[in-house]
Amino acid sequence: MTAIDPGPRGAIDMTHGAGGRAMAGLIRDVFHRHLGNAYLAQGDDGALLGRVEGRLVMATDAHVVSPLFFPGGDIGALAVHGTINDIAMMGARPLWLSASFILEEGLALATLDRIVASMARAAREAGVPVVTGDTKVVEKGKGDGVFIATTGVGDLADGVAISGAGARPGNVILVSGTMGDHGVAILSRREGLAFETEIVSDSQPLHDLVAAMLASVSGIRVLRDPTRGGLAATLNEIAHQSQAGMVLDEPAVPVQPEVAAACELLGLDPLNIANEGKLVAICEAADAEALLAAMRAHPRGRDAAIIGEVVADERTLVRMRTRLGGMRVVDWIDGEQLPRIC
Amino acid sequence: MTAIDPGPRGAIDMTHGAGGRAMAGLIRDVFHRHLGNAYLAQGDDGALLGRVEGRLVMATDAHVVSPLFFPGGDIGALAVHGTINDIAMMGARPLWLSASFILEEGLALATLDRIVASMARAAREAGVPVVTGDTKVVEKGKGDGVFIATTGVGDLADGVAISGAGARPGNVILVSGTMGDHGVAILSRREGLAFETEIVSDSQPLHDLVAAMLASVSGIRVLRDPTRGGLAATLNEIAHQSQAGMVLDEPAVPVQPEVAAACELLGLDPLNIANEGKLVAICEAADAEALLAAMRAHPRGRDAAIIGEVVADERTLVRMRTRLGGMRVVDWIDGEQLPRIC
């Protein structure tokens, strides 16, 4: 620490949200220092972004994950990945992000600095800049450290038509990798559980994988990232939107042995557990093998697998052939299994 | 209440953020019921919006106002107006909004319903739909009822170049109406103060006023809404961005007598108090009278006034000729005068 750049120290107080000098200092010393780019440098209450080719898409997510730091990630990186992935799941290319921070009085500035630095790194690695932001401060006991709402905009190329309503009987269901890593990583940190191998979150951006998938075949009908509620909730949502049923093959669903063991221990089903760097794809049967190969050829889809198929079923049930040869319904959970997972 | 439409009842619990049936029900019965439009009906994790003419602009704001309801508005309408205004202050046309909700466990569903209904009304009246959203729930004591982060996108016509860096010596400074109404309305509700005349927030969308202003003259250089920190903070920001000074004329700054009296009583300066439905415009001197006339001709600019001018000043000071003929510096506040005003 030098006199020129003392760096962040101390803690957030109510003046940091008051629109005066303290807020201007925070924006300069933390947000602009890490996230700095030509858009933020415009210094206005919004950002001028330029022209967009194709059709515009927009997605938003609030992030309230607890704890703020967890194996494989933190709320800053997660807030970037989560919204990039929502844009990518429409088949679109994420272009720009906004970020709104709600800070709790008393939050250590060093903690905020670390979160914003991680956010900046995630945005840089993904090639999607944070172009505009906002900061509010709430009194101690009226928040929980930091909440971050991110919104993304992107463009969708002509001819791409991806939607949760697009699944048709005969289509094939794929996932891009192992299920449950993020939720179990959060839970193990929260509960202080130690496993032989540390389970780390899969938090990662999926837009490059999606671009590779869209370039490989034309028959992709649905893309979605199985976050809250896990694969079970996501497939039930799609089944409902598409008015079709699904049949999964249990042994085909990739789950890391450590995650399976932790779930067994905790009485959880990996299919209900949130992921933050995996996707579900549903495609025409003729394209399934080529799509699987394209996914496996990409570093973010190495463990991709075909896990089942879409069937005609007016009850829109998601069912699974179990390892023992039975058939069970994969329902979405009613209650709260894992609060504040993202 | 009937068996068909029981309406919202009870309170938010952790299951409403869990990605399961309870969350789907909340989205359907509260968010889609009020905000419903073709974009939300797409039912995907983001919205497909179509093509954008001109250059894209983007702005975001988190809203943490306390209390949630106040004279002249509530957090729902404010979250719509605030972000529409940020887009409008770039000279752009707001097109679409996203909304991320952070709900505290225990929040009455009836309260949320009232807020979302107000948000929907504000969006409808402004002609700017909420196209995509997200909901998270945090444990009781980790939030404060409801926080709403909204993000807006809009398009900027070619040839329009509005920026806080655009003020030049000789330019004229205007405001669209009285200063301090919003902050004093919040404060009076929060502190339980009763005045002879109820002071109501000026919370309103300004994009139609801005469109009328841009159509009237070509010489508008700067637009900004004096929210947190009030007119004083906003003019100091612009002075700094433009590297110029400003001289205001105190008697010319419109302040409602009730607001002036309340500020006197509370030891506050109306120039430091937040507004949520007013703008500052800086324009070339030759256009000032025509711009003033255009503003006064619009229902949202009836009390517009010319309040001062931009001057060459490398110290970038904002100064004011007082009623008594003196000159004082209008500084932005260092401390926290009014927390959680927006």
Mean pLDDT of A50-73: 95
Predicted local distance difference test score (pLDDT) of residue B60? 98
The tens digit of pLDDT for each residue in A25-40 reads 999 999 999 999 999 9
Predicted local distance difference test score (pLDDT) of residue A335? 59
Mean pLDDT of A125-141: 97
Window from A13-27, A261-275, B28-42, B301-315 with minimum mean pLDDT: A13-27
Chain-chain contact of A48 with B147 (C-beta, under 8 angstroms) = no
Give the residue from chain A lying closest to B274, CA to CA. Answer: A19
Selection from B154, B150, B50 nearest residue B94 by Cα: B154
pLDDT higher than 90, residue A53:
no
Res. A4 pLDDT band, cuts 50 70 90: very low
Mean pLDDT of B101-108: 97
Question: Is any Cβ of chain B less than 8 angstroms from the Cβ of A252?
Answer: no
Mean pLDDT of A11-27: 89
Res. B6 pLDDT band, cuts 50 70 90: very low
Give the residue from chain A lying closest to B228, CA to CA. Answer: A19
Distance CA B62, CA A226 (A): 26
The tens digit of pLDDT for each residue in A266-295 reads 889 999 999 999 999 999 999 999 999 999
E strands, chain A, in order? 47-50, 55-63, 69-70, 73-74, 93-104, 130-138, 146-156, 172-175, 220-224, 245-249, 280-283, 305-311, 318-321, 327-329
Question: Is any Cβ of chain A less than 8 angstroms from the Cβ of B228?
Answer: yes
Contact assessment for residue B113 and residue B72, using Cβ atoms and an 8 Å cutoff: no
pLDDT higher than 80, residue A196:
no
Res. B2 pLDDT band, cuts 50 70 90: very low
Question: Is any Cβ of chain A less than 8 angstroms from the Cβ of B20?
Answer: yes
The tens digit of pLDDT for each residue in B235-252 reads 999 999 999 999 999 999
Please give the share of chain B, as a percent, with pLDDT higher than 70. 96
Window from B98-107, B169-178, B258-267 with minimum mean pLDDT: B258-267
Q: Which of B55, B100, B224 to mutate to test the interface with A (most CBs of A within 10 A)?
A: B100
Mean pLDDT of A49-68: 95
Token pair belonging to B318: 């904002």
Those residues whose C-beta lies under 8 Å from the C-beta of residue B159, and which sit 6 or more positions away, are none
Window from A209-218, B36-45, B213-222 with minimum mean pLDDT: B36-45
Distance CA A222, CA A240 (A): 13
Q: In B, which residues are within 8 Å of A236 by CB distance?
A: none
Q: Which of B21, B35, B37, B58 to mutate to test the interface with A (most CBs of A within 10 A)?
A: B58
List the single residue in B56, B333, B339 with the smallest CB-CB distance to A52: B56
**Alpha carbon separation from B84 to A13, A86, A314 (Å, rounded):** 28, 23, 43
Predicted local distance difference test score (pLDDT) of residue A198? 86
Window from A170-184, B23-37, B185-199 with minimum mean pLDDT: B185-199
Question: Is any Cβ of chain A less than 8 angstroms from the Cβ of B183?
Answer: no
For chain A, the average pLDDT equals 93
Q: How far is A84 from chain B (nearest CA, A)?
A: 11
Distance CA B235, CA B331 (A): 9
pLDDT higher than 90, residue A47:
yes
Predicted local distance difference test score (pLDDT) of residue B19? 80
pLDDT higher than 80, residue B126:
yes
Q: In B, which residues are within 8 Å of A163 by CB distance?
A: 42-44
pLDDT higher than 70, residue B73:
yes
List the single residue in A60, A141, A241 with the smallest CB-CB distance to B98: A60
Chain B (64-93) residues lying within 8 Å, Cβ to Cβ, of chain A = 64, 86-87, 89-90, 92
State yes or no: cis peptide before A67, omega within 30 of 0.
yes
Token pair belonging to A149: 């709402």
Those residues whose C-beta lies under 8 Å from the C-beta of residue B105, and which sit 6 or more positions away, are B11, B12, B13, B14, B137, B138, B139, B140, B143
Question: Is any Cβ of chain A less than 8 angstroms from the Cβ of B61?
Answer: yes
Please give the share of chain A, as a percent, with pLDDT higher than 90. 85
> Who has greater pLDDT, B334 or A240?
A240
pLDDT higher than 70, residue A211:
yes
pLDDT higher than 60, residue A102:
yes
Question: Is any Cβ of chain B less than 8 angstroms from the Cβ of A149?
Answer: yes
Predicted local distance difference test score (pLDDT) of residue B3? 33
Q: How far is B180 from chain A (nearest CA, A)?
A: 14
Mean pLDDT of A257-274: 93
List the single residue in B15, B46, B142 with the smallest CB-CB distance to A58: B46
Quote the pTM value: 0.95
The tens digit of pLDDT for each residue in B163-220 reads 999 999 999 999 999 999 999 999 988 888 777 778 999 999 999 999 999 999 999 9
Chain-chain contact of A44 with B15 (C-beta, under 8 angstroms) = no
For chain B, the average pLDDT equals 93
Predicted local distance difference test score (pLDDT) of residue B4? 35
Chain-chain contact of B50 with A44 (C-beta, under 8 angstroms) = no
ipTM: 0.95
Predicted local distance difference test score (pLDDT) of residue A197? 79
pLDDT higher than 90, residue A78:
yes
Predicted local distance difference test score (pLDDT) of residue A179? 98
Predicted local distance difference test score (pLDDT) of residue A3? 33
Chain-chain contact of A55 with B49 (C-beta, under 8 angstroms) = yes
pLDDT higher than 80, residue A204:
yes
